């Protein structure tokens, strides 16, 4: 018989036709899709869009390691892949944000949705759908930087006005004619910050004293100096002579025992400094320290405010400040509220309840509960919710706000950023739809595989079985003919050969029937799951262990044909593992049906193992069992310890009746 005729051509062509159709669909998709070997993480296939996204030509990505495409900030590519493997092992799918590298070395961010499935040709594989989210990541980075900046802003007074006030007060009290105020800089020198009554050339000539200058060293000694001006620095320059200063008082300014500057008060005539006069000037210098520090902070703050406004008014997000009160009254909201939300700043500020009213009704209770929790427990606010624009359009926001406290650690306001994530939500919804499609594809592959097994088993039984049976009958007939003919020479030798042929054919028929049963157990189709499991336990006892028992409690559960074969294959794989690895002497299969759920348990008294020490990504039998359980909507757990046997439990099985 020609082996090529065992499987008819239509049966071969149908799966190939389906695969071609699926391949054509994937190749035309606008999303980047690739298939990766789960064992070695080698890329098996990448569709044209994926190759384009990573900058590779047609077919260049096939055969590459996944690690060559990953550039994870703060963690190694092997750690990223390990994390993906663990997620897929636990859940069958995962969504991760990962930084990738293109062929030309360019880095970009993708949201990758990976699903684990069994491929009929390549075995266990990952299907990955990529979406470029580089723009979203850059926006989040800007928002984070702005968020950190806002926390540092406080309200203080103007530095220039403060310095002028302090200097003018000192001049008036001292009775001097003019003066200058210097502040220390980062290098330790003294820089002119304010002056009164001095000429422009003199201010220019004395605008800065380096750390090593005589004037700076004198101030850093920390003692007030009252001298004739010419005695301060030695010979006078032409500019100093022209200025005509005769008497000078140098007063260091301290803050928290550190010199932050000095006041130089001068007169163009000889001035006598009385003790009371000196005390007044030193008091002014001392009192001005706190004002200068606060004003200095104010100057830095005003610069920060300007930077903050520039920043928040140019990012694509709404920044706001809200009070900690019952209505979360908006104190400030950035101009983007108009372009993104449709309301002006004035409309928002004039209506304290506007934000509450525009929250989507289905989200309002959840959002307001989070706001109340933030107020009561003094923590930051983080929430994603929908709002209704002025036009009636629904928009998704990610709202992140930091809680700002006063010097007594009391909360005073929330500084937040509302980012439009409508596009991102659409991407997530699209990825979810693609996941459902991939899950449907995986289920279809399993169905096609079981159908193929069924067809092959039927063909083997019908074609080989009939042929072998006919051959056995013919040989038996020849044996009887020879045995009945006394004239046939060498009868004994021929009979022995015929007996041997009949034995080989009988053994072949037995093996063929065993193979057919393993491909598609007839007892499962004819009698159902419970008799099939009982039969399997009996067969296992005959071939392997005398103590393999099946027990069923409760009404016999009824499963669909597809679900029944999944349960049967799980038990079959468990028994294979027990035979190969456990060294067990007792095996028990228990099926309990209670109310609307059934539970299946396979236990043995073998040597056991430590589950945490097993690389499940390399154990395709266990992975296949977990995957089949997930397709049933059930949960598979493994309990084992060294020397204490193993228990495999499948919970949440849902019979049809």
> Could you report the per-residue pLDDT of 315-334, keeping only the tens digit for each?
778 888 888 877 677 778 88
The 3-state DSSP class for residue 198 equals coil
Pick the most confident of 118-127, 134-143, 182-191, 630-639.
Answer: 182-191
Q: What is the predicted pLDDT for the residue at 614?
A: 72
The rounded distance, in Å, linking the Cα atoms of 357 and 360 is 8
Q: Is the model's pLDDT at 649 over the cut of 50?
A: yes
Q: What is the predicted pLDDT for the residue at 164?
A: 83
The 3-state DSSP class for residue 436 equals helix
User: Domain extents for the chain?
Assistant: 31-132, 159-309, 316-420, 426-517, 525-653
Q: Which CATH class is domain 316-420?
A: alpha beta
The pair of three-digit structure tokens given for residue 466, joined into one six-digit string: 């009939």
Task: Between 394 and 496, name the one with better pLDDT.
Answer: 394
Q: What is the predicted pLDDT for the residue at 1?
A: 35
The pair of three-digit structure tokens given for residue 360, joined into one six-digit string: 């989507």
- Is residue 140 very low, low, confident or very high in pLDDT (cuts 50, 70, 90)? low
What number does CATH give the domain 426-517?
A: 1.10.287
**Who contacts 568 (Cβ-Cβ below 8 Å, separation ≥6)?**
521, 524, 529, 532, 533, 536
Q: Is the model's pLDDT at 21 over the cut of 60?
A: yes
Mean pLDDT across the stretch 368-386?
Answer: 89
The residue to which tokens 């043995």 are assigned? 604
pLDDT tens, 467-497?
666 666 766 766 666 666 665 556 666 666 6
Q: Is the model's pLDDT at 220 over the cut of 70?
A: yes
Q: Is the model's pLDDT at 236 over the cut of 90?
A: no
| Matching fold, domains 31-132 and 426-517 | no
Q: Which CATH class is domain 31-132?
A: alpha beta
Task: Between 298 and 51, name the one with better pLDDT.
Answer: 51
Q: Is the model's pLDDT at 149 over the cut of 60?
A: no
The rounded distance, in Å, linking the Cα atoms of 118 and 113 is 17
Give the chain's length: 657
Q: Is the model's pLDDT at 387 over the cut of 70?
A: yes
Mean pLDDT across the stretch 531-546?
Answer: 81
Q: Is the model's pLDDT at 297 over the cut of 80?
A: no
Largest CA distance in the chain: 161
Q: Is the model's pLDDT at 157 over the cut of 50?
A: yes
Which region among 72-76, 377-381, 536-540 has the lowest average model confidence (pLDDT)?
Answer: 72-76
Q: What is the predicted pLDDT for the residue at 286?
A: 81
The pair of three-digit structure tokens given for residue 144, joined into one six-digit string: 């984070």
Contact between residue 266 and residue 178 where contact means Cβ atoms under 8 Å apart: yes
Mean pLDDT across the stretch 226-232?
Answer: 84
Contact between residue 642 and residue 608 where contact means Cβ atoms under 8 Å apart: yes
Where is 387: in which H helix or E strand? strand 381-388
What number does CATH give the domain 525-653?
A: 3.30.565.10
Q: Is the model's pLDDT at 153 over the cut of 60?
A: no
What fold characterizes domain 159-309? Beta-Lactamase (3.30.450)
What mean pLDDT is reported for the chain?
79
pLDDT tens, 168-211?
878 887 788 999 999 999 899 999 999 999 999 999 999 999 99
Mean pLDDT across the stretch 563-577?
Answer: 86
Mean pLDDT across the stretch 445-455?
Answer: 62
């Amino acid at each position: 018989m020609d082996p090529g005729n065992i499987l008819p051509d239509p049966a071969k062509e149908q799966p190939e036709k389906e695969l071609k159709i699926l391949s054509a669909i994937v190749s035309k998709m606008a999303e980047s899709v690739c298939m990766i070997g789960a064992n070695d993480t080698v890329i098996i296939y990448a569709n044209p869009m994926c190759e384009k996204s990573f900058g590779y030509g047609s077919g260049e990505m096939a055969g590459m390691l996944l690690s060559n495409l990953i550039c994870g900030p703060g963690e190694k590519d092997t750690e990223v892949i390990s994390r993906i493997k663990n997620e897929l092992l636990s859940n069958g799918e995962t969504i991760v944000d990962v930084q990738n590298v293109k062929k030309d070395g360019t880095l970009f961010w993708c949201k990758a949705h990976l699903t684990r499935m069994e491929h009929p040709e390549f075995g266990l594989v990952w299907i990955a759908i990529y979406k470029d989210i580089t723009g979203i990541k850059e926006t989040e980075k800007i928002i984070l930087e702005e968020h950190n900046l806002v926390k540092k802003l406080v309200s203080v007074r103007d530095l220039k006005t403060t310095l002028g006030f302090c200097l003018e007060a000192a001049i008036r009290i001292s009775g001097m004619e003019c003066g200058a105020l210097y502040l220390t800089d980062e290098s330790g020198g003294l820089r002119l910050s304010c002056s009164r009554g001095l000429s422009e050339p003199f201010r220019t000539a004395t605008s800065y004293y380096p750390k090593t200058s005589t004037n700076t060293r004198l101030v850093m000694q920390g003692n007030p100096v009252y001298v004739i001006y010419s005695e301060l620095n030695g010979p006078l320059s032409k500019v100093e002579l022209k200025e005509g200063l005769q008497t000078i008082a140098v007063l260091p300014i301290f803050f928290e025992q550190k010199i932050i500057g000095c006041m130089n008060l001068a007169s163009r005539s000889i001035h006598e400094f009385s003790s009371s006069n000196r005390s007044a000037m030193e008091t002014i210098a001392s009192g001005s320290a706190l004002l200068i520090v606060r004003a200095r902070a104010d100057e830095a703050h005003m610069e920060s405010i300007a930077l903050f406004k520039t920043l928040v008014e140019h990012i694509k997000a709404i920044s706001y400040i809200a009070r900690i009160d019952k209505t979360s009254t908006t104190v400030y909201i950035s101009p983007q509220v108009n372009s993104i939300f449709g309301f002006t700043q004035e409309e928002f500020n004039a209506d304290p309840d506007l934000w509450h009213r525009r929250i989507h009704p289905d989200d309002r209770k959840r959002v307001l509960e989070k706001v109340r929790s933030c107020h009561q427990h003094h923590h930051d606010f983080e929430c994603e919710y929908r709002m209704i624009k002025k036009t009636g359009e629904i928009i998704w926001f990610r709202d992140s706000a930091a809680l700002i406290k006063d010097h007594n650690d009391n909360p005073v306001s929330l500084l937040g950023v509302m980012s439009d994530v409508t596009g991102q939500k659409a991407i997530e919804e699209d990825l979810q739809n693609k996941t459902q499609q991939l899950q449907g594809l995986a289920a279809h592959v399993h169905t096609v595989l079981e159908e193929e097994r069924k067809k092959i088993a039927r063909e083997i039984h019908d074609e080989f079985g009939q042929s072998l049976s006919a051959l056995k009958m013919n040989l038996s007939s020849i044996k009887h003919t020879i045995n009945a003919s006394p004239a046939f020479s060498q009868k004994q030798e021929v009979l022995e050969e015929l007996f041997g042929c009949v034995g080989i054919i009988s053994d072949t028929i037995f093996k063929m029937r065993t193979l057919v049963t393993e491909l598609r157990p007839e007892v499962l189709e004819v009698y159902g799951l419970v008799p099939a499991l009982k039969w399997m336990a009996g067969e296992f006892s005959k071939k392997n262990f005398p103590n393999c028992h099946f027990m069923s409690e409760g009404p016999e559960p009824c499963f669909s044909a597809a679900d029944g074969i999944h349960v049967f294959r799980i038990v079959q794989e468990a028994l294979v593992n027990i035979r190969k690895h456990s060294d067990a002497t007792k095996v028990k299969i228990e099926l309990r049906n209670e109310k609307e759920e059934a539970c299946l348990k396979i236990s043995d008294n073998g040597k056991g193992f430590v589950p945490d020490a097993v690389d499940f990504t390399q154990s395709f039998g266990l992975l296949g069992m977990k995957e089949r359980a997930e397709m049933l909507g059930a949960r598979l757990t493994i309990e084992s310890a060294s020397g204490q046997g193993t228990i495999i439990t499948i919970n949440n099985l849902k019979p049809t009746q």
